[in-house]
Amino acid sequence: MSTRVAAKTTKPARGRATAPGRITFVGSGPGDPGLLTLRAEQTIAGARTVYTDPDVPQTVLDMVGTALPVEPVETDEDAADATTAKGRKGEPAVRNPATVAPALGEPAEVAKTLLAQARHGLDVVRLVAGDPLSSDAVLAEVNAVARTQIAFEIVPGLAPATAVPTYAGMALGSAHTEADVRGEVDWAALAAAPSPLVLSATAEHLADTASALVENGLAPQTPVAVTAQGSTCKQKTVEATLATLNEAGAGLPGPLVVTVGKVVGQRNKLSWWESRALYGWTVLVPRTKDQAAEMSNRLRAHGSIPMEVPTIAVEPPRSPAQMERAVKGLVDGRYQWVVFTSTNAVRAVWEKFIEFGLDARAFSGVKIACVGEQTAAKVRAFGIEPELLPTGEQSSLGMLEVFPPFDDVFDPVNRVLLPRADIATETLAEGLRDRGWEIDDVTAYRTVRAAPPPASTREMIKSGDFDAVCFTSSSTVRNLVGIAGKPHARTIVACIGPKTAETAIEFGLRVDVQPETASVEDLVEALAAHASRLRAEGALPPPRKKPRRSRS
């Protein structure tokens, strides 16, 4: 688990009274961040000082402090001690000001640390896996805090014992029995309790659990399901019996949820989480950091594990003069149309508007065209409805099919503003000129090759550890191959549109998936449909064999 700066007790200035802070115990649920309560999500996002359990997933820890204003990084030492995000060229690097540290020691020691922080005026969040009051250790911390005058709050979390069986496709019904077999257990009472049994355990407890339940009356052939990493995209459920439980569950990582009883037989009908189209796939997302979120979220919805590897970085043009003249031209009525070819172009123009104190009214009297739905959505986010989108292929060629020719009777102005990347092709500009328009082809931003990913990621790409890769532009293809090498032949290649596919083929890649409409949503849906079809045909690429370790 990666942590940010370890929290340090901050002492108030001498002679100045400090109001004590509040301690909030927050349940992070079973693992899926989507199962956080709204209150938990808000508390985590606004937290500055957090002490966490080791079982809290990284996806939840990544949410800590995201609602706080970022802080500039002033020195190299600060950068080494904090999670930083580098700004565009000429802008300062920034960091999340929150601190995350592990909750170390016995419950009394953890409570002492929390109270020390609160007495010095800090609001402290104690982040707990599952539900705070379902853990005896955390309950001891809560009781220790409750004996003081420090204010505290408890934000419940969804308990793994109820959520994980649901994610594994087992209906517990209105009566079931929960127990934690990692501590002292009354085995006779547990074996006689209403079924199904839902047990919290680790792999080391499985053998003793099975033996004790059989010794106290349960049949050795009683069905059992063991679920590891429940409710995450790494969830794995194995079925066994009490007789084979230890062997089946050996090596499963982390806390386990063991479900015992007839409900295990329902999994073939109710297993919804692990049966999704891309479940368990690792998918490479070669997008800039600020553009990867939508695709990654859609991939997770289909059960895959996205890994974001930025292949391009977006920077301002070397000289701002072109863009400044273009914005002045918009205000002065120089243009009949503005054609946006990417969300980056929309963002670049809007940033220039903000710089000059302008807003959406600067587009008054100007028609807006967008080459795709993603770009149009970005324009709509600023309160503007585009007049023109392609009806077919969402690309430069698709735009040219629907773009009207210049009419000297009906068009008062014959000029089109085309704010684009520095490496954009001439297809669109030439096509618009052929239709009688004068074009101001302006460099709104530059795309530069990102730094190479870590060596481990490069090895995954070359050796086939990625099940699929989703390319969203020709530049992502070129740059990925340039900084990390070609994806392995077993990796399924999905391209957002024909130009991207053409580039992939030029680099010797086999294009397996291309949606009819060039959008992130359709690209992910097409990949999911392709995977489902291959699975139905029994034609999925075989799993990569792990290299054998050489014997010493």
Mean pLDDT in residue range 297-324: 91
- Are the C-beta atoms of 216 and 187 separated by less than 8 Å? yes
More confident residue, 93 or 237: 237
Residues 411 and 532 in one domain: no
Residues 254 and 332 in one domain: no
Residues 425 and 458 in one domain: no
Tell me whether residue 121 is in a domain. Answer: yes
Mean pLDDT in residue range 350-367: 90
Confidence of residue 373 (pLDDT cuts 50, 70, 90): confident
Q: Is the pLDDT of residue 288 over 90?
A: no
Tell me whether residue 74 is in a domain. Answer: no
Q: Angle 492-496-501 (CA atoms, 0-180°, nearest 5)?
A: 70
Q: Measure the CA–CA gap between 305 and 307, rounded to whole angstroms.
A: 7
Residues 465 and 491 in one domain: yes
Given 401, 429, 449, which residue is the final one in a domain? 449
| Backbone dihedral region for residue 279 (phi beyond 0: left; psi -120 to 50: alpha; all else: beta) | beta
Its domain, for residue 417, covers 315-449
Residues 416 and 508 in one domain: no
Residues 307 and 455 in one domain: yes
Q: Which of 106-110, 215-219, 352-356 has the lowest mean pLDDT?
A: 352-356
Instruction: Work out the percent of the chain whose per-residue pLDDT is above 70.
Output: 90
Tell me whether residue 75 is in a domain. Answer: no
Residues 495 and 383 in one domain: no
Q: Measure the CA–CA gap between 389 and 287, rounded to whole angstroms.
A: 24
Q: Measure the CA–CA gap between 113 and 107, rounded to whole angstroms.
A: 10
What is the CB neighbour count within 10 angstroms for residue 495? 29
Tell me whether residue 41 is in a domain. Answer: yes
- Are the C-beta atoms of 237 and 227 separated by less than 8 Å? yes
Residues 45 and 126 in one domain: yes
Given 207, 239, 269, which residue is the final one in a domain? 269
The overall average pLDDT reported for the chain is: 89
Residues 463 and 443 in one domain: no
Q: What CATH number did the domain enclosing 209 receive?
A: 3.30.950.10
Q: Cα 544 vs. chain centroid, distance in angstroms?
A: 25
Predicted local distance difference test score (pLDDT) of residue 18: 80
Q: What CATH number did the domain enclosing 46 receive?
A: 3.40.1010.10
Hey, CA dihedral for 422, 425, 429, 432, is it positive or negative?
negative
Over residues 172-182, the pLDDT tens digits come to 999 999 999 99
Given 138, 158, 178, which residue is the final one in a domain? 158
Mean pLDDT in residue range 51-56: 94
Q: Measure the CA–CA gap between 165 and 158, rounded to whole angstroms.
A: 12
What's the length of the chain? 552
Q: What CATH number did the domain enclosing 481 receive?
A: 3.40.50.10090
Of 449, 535, 510, nearest to 484 (Cα)? 449
Confidence of residue 392 (pLDDT cuts 50, 70, 90): confident
What is the CB neighbour count within 10 angstroms for residue 182? 16
Mean pLDDT in residue range 495-507: 95
- Strand 84-85 with 94-95, pairing: antiparallel
Output the CA–CA distances (angstroms, integers) from residue 507 to 421, 462, 474, 489, 495, in the order listed: 22, 14, 11, 13, 13
Predicted local distance difference test score (pLDDT) of residue 77: 45
Residue type for 385, please? Answer: E
Print burial letters for 332-366: b (CB count within 10 Å at least 16), e (below 16).
eebbbbbbbbbbbbbbbbbebbeeeebeeeebeeb
Residues 235 and 291 in one domain: no
Predicted local distance difference test score (pLDDT) of residue 540: 80
Domain total for the chain? 4
Residues 107 and 186 in one domain: no
Mean pLDDT in residue range 395-421: 92
Exposure of 530 in the CB half-sphere (CA atoms within 13 A): 20
Tell me whether residue 184 is in a domain. Answer: yes
Mean pLDDT in residue range 305-313: 89
Q: Is the pLDDT of residue 504 over 50?
A: yes
Residues 319 and 445 in one domain: yes
Predicted local distance difference test score (pLDDT) of residue 119: 96
Question: What single-letter DSSP state applies at residue 287?
Answer: S
Of 473, 296, 291, 337, nearest to 395 (Cα)? 473
